[in-house]
Amino acid sequence: MPAKLDTQLNPIVDDALPFAASLQLAVGQASDKGHKSQNEDAIGIRIPSGVALMTKGIVSVISDGVSTAEGGAQASAISVSNFLADYYSTPESWSVQTSSAKVLLALNRWLYGLGQDYRDARRGFVCTFSALVFKSCTVHMLHVGDSRIYRFRRGELTQLTHDHSTKINASHQYLTRALGMDVKLDVDYKALTLEQDDLYLLTTDGIHDQFTEYELLQKITHFYQQHSQLNDDLCEQFCQLLIKKALALGSKDNLSAQLLCVTQLPKQAIDDVYHSLSQRPFPPPMSVAMKLDGYQVTHIIHQSQRSQVYRVVNEQGQAFCMKTPSVNYIDDAAYIERFMLESWIGQRINSAHVVKVVEQHKIKSALYYLTEFLSGMSLAQWLSQHKKAPVEDVLQLVKQIELGIRAFHRRETLHQDLKPDNIFITREGVVKIIDFGSCYIKGVAEISSPLTRIIF
């Protein structure tokens, strides 16, 4: 499969996400069929923009189709293109490990199923798979097979992957693990801290079988010392140079390489973070009949040192709950980040048993968010009024609470403050979990911040 660099991905527009994406890489890749009739390798790099860069990261994938499998070339092409597409389709709140594991499990079953169409198992759809996901200040490594990933840091070259292969003799070896080989898949996973100027090299065996680790180290060191600042063109030139040299050394396999250099890490000063978070002003405490962005306050539902909640109606008479931050924390960046995350979380959990955050299709003039308006009472109030409730009624409530909790867990999110005051029962008897102020989101926790994150 020819080398392909994809740097276009439509970002998800979400003006409530309180992070700035500043991770930058210089990347390059190259692939050649060598002396073979077709190229069974596949490579791909995707660099998204906006929100996806923060929540999902930059992905580099390399795959080598097993030549003894008739569908090897198709398997490698499928694994690269589908991983790059499907990984970015997973929920933003999922961690890299969960997102990648779900996608690879589905890919493996698909390839294995395609291979079962043949009576001869050797004619299946089998390939190696190695990938790096660069997210915030961490790189996540996924690996199965005998493609390789190296890291060059401060003059030292380290092979991060282990070859899943067994040698039969000096010239023959076979894979012990690969995509599509078995219905079960065991993928090596590591999460490693990034450093400025790290170099990551991914290769198929058509290249690394021709060099010793010391020879690779020499080539990367020479390349690195030649250029004070790396860019995409230079990284691609290095990959092409490796291919040319490996062919000169007698490589008879397909040859593919990817080189990625960390040129900027998303580390910010607290003052910069506060400036980013404070783009919208805090609304002042409001009273009945006051308006904000066309929403008129009809009732004050709750006021505390940390926030205010109002019942508001829009110009069409529809009722909503409006939550606003307290002006007591106007200079507290960690507080602002947490408040903004509340609406971000709520927009990504879809359940009849979790209060819905209302998406607005107009620009806000201040910091607040809306939820559906609920008529009824809290579980705390219900318990005080139903001290001898029938077991059947209690079980019905518990079942609905469980469904709401599952909706959080499907997004790798923990509510962390589940109590009777945060469980609402509508007049129709529907249970709704409310309050996202203490939620832990695995995918967000992977995004570095100079702030000490808080929960309400």
pLDDT tens-place string over residues 121-145: 456 899 999 999 999 999 999 999 9
Tell me the CA distances in angstroms from 146 to 11, 61, 383, one per residue in order. Answer: 34, 13, 60
pLDDT at residue 12 greater than cutoff 60: no
Confidence bin at 71 (pLDDT 50/70/90): confident
User: Can you tell me the distance from the alpha carbon of 430 to that of 77, in angstroms, rounded to the nearest whole number?
Assistant: 48
Domains delineated in the chain: 5-267 (3.60.40.10), 272-445 (1.10.510.10)
pLDDT for residue 17: 57
Cβ–Cβ under 8 Å, residues 203 and 242: yes
pLDDT at residue 287 greater than cutoff 90: yes
Q: What percent of the chain has pLDDT over 90?
A: 77
pLDDT at residue 1 greater than cutoff 60: no
pLDDT, the chain, mean: 90
Q: In sequence order, which residues have a C-beta less than 8 Å from that of residue 154 and are 6 or more positions away?
A: none
pLDDT for residue 132: 98
Distance between alpha carbon 453 and the CA centroid of its chain, in Å?
A: 19
- Tokens representing 246 are 């490996």
Backbone angles phi, psi at 148, to 5 degrees: -130, 155
pLDDT for residue 167: 75
Confidence bin at 455 (pLDDT 50/70/90): low
User: Can you tell me the distance from the alpha carbon of 37 to that of 134, in angstroms, rounded to the nearest whole number?
Assistant: 34
User: Can you tell me the distance from the alpha carbon of 213 to that of 161, in angstroms, rounded to the nearest whole number?
Assistant: 13
